[in-house]
Amino acid sequence: MYDESDSRGGALCEILWADSQEFGSKQSLSAEDQELARTFLFQPRRRQFETGRTLVRRFFSQKLGLSPENLRIAVDATGKPFLLAEGLGLPYQFSIAHSGRIVVCAFSKDIRLGVDIERVRRSYDWLRTACAVLTADEINTLLAYSPSRRARAFYKLWTKNEALAKATRTGISQTVRSRRKSAVEVGKPDVSGWTSAPVKTRSSYVGTVVVESVTCRFETRQEHLTSNT
């Protein structure tokens, strides 16, 4: 059974990221994962899925001292994956996101969290998307940036919203316009009870993690899939 106390107190969010192009055929996936992976016909998407599952399995196998392929991951009715940890006493939650070749997984103990990442595409008509999916407050926040910094600022807001939608699941069934809390508020822990932080991977990507805690430490590390485990 898992038993660990964080002597430094407060919430801890651990973030692992990897390049899905590094994924090889000998990763420690379960038979179920491999079967699911085969349903993705588009190979880059399959690699994203395989990489996400590998990161989750690595993390929990290190915490539990079990073989990664023996852990069981299920998916709830909304599509959110979770660890079937009955009897293991494992109080962790996790969230997965991917874009392009980068895959990110965030983990926290007993607190809700969500993560999202996007590759910054300079040619993307982000303003059109912003008008369709962001609240008036969020659009005003964007317009306060200098024109050269707006695209990146858009991705920050977008990933914060997506991360929050994953954490709460409410955003997933609601239209964006009906969201009660905008990502702008989420950045202020004293207002909403949530904390957000940037997820730093490659410079051409913008990522955000949100956790339901007013204070939280964030630890990020890159995993190399070519190494064993």
Ligand X SMILES: CC(C)(COP(=O)(O)OP(=O)(O)OC[C@H]1O[C@@H](n2cnc3c(N)ncnc32)[C@H](O)[C@@H]1OP(=O)(O)O)[C@@H](O)C(=O)NCCC(=O)NCCS
Dihedral sign, CA of 86, 92, 97, 102? negative
> How many CB atoms are located within 10 Å of the residue 3 CB?
6
Helices (H), the chain: 31-37, 43-64, 126-133, 136-143, 147-168, 170-173, 183-186, 189-192
User: Judged by CB, which is closer to ligand X: 19, or 89?
Assistant: 19
Q: Note whether 202 and 18 are within 8 A (CB).
A: no
97 in contact with ligand X (CB under 6 A): yes
Site for ligand X in 107-136 (CB under 6 A): 116, 133
SS3 35: helix
Query: Contacting ligand X (CB under 6 A), which of 17, 20, 27, 49?
Result: 49
Q: Which is nearer to ligand X, 20 or 195 (CB)?
A: 20
80 near ligand X (CB under 6 A): yes
Q: Return the range that interacts with ligand X (CB under 6 A); candidates 21-29, 73-81, 193-201, 209-217.
A: 73-81
| Interface pick for ligand X out of 20, 27, 93, 161 (rule CB under 6 A) | 161
Tokens 């999916």, residue located: 133
Return the ∠ at Cα 197 (arms to 143 and 151), rounded to 5°.
Answer: 30
Cβ proximity to ligand X, 10 vs 135, nearer residue: 135
Mark the segment that binds ligand X (CB under 6 A) among 6-14, 147-155, 162-170, 205-213. Answer: 162-170
Give the amino acid at 110: D
- Cβ neighbors of 83 (< 8 A, separation 6 or more) are 56, 60, 71, 72, 73, 74, 90, 92, 94
Q: Kindly tell me which residue out of 158, 194, 205, 218 binds ligand X, with binding defined by CB under 6 A.
A: 158
When asked if residue 48 is in the footprint of ligand X (CB under 6 A), the reply is: yes
The answer to the question of residue 165 lying near ligand X (CB under 6 A) is yes
| Min separation Cβ 25 and ligand X, Å | 18
Footprint of ligand X on this chain (CB under 6 A)?
48-49, 52, 78-81, 95-98, 116, 133, 158, 161-162, 165-166, 169, 171-172, 176
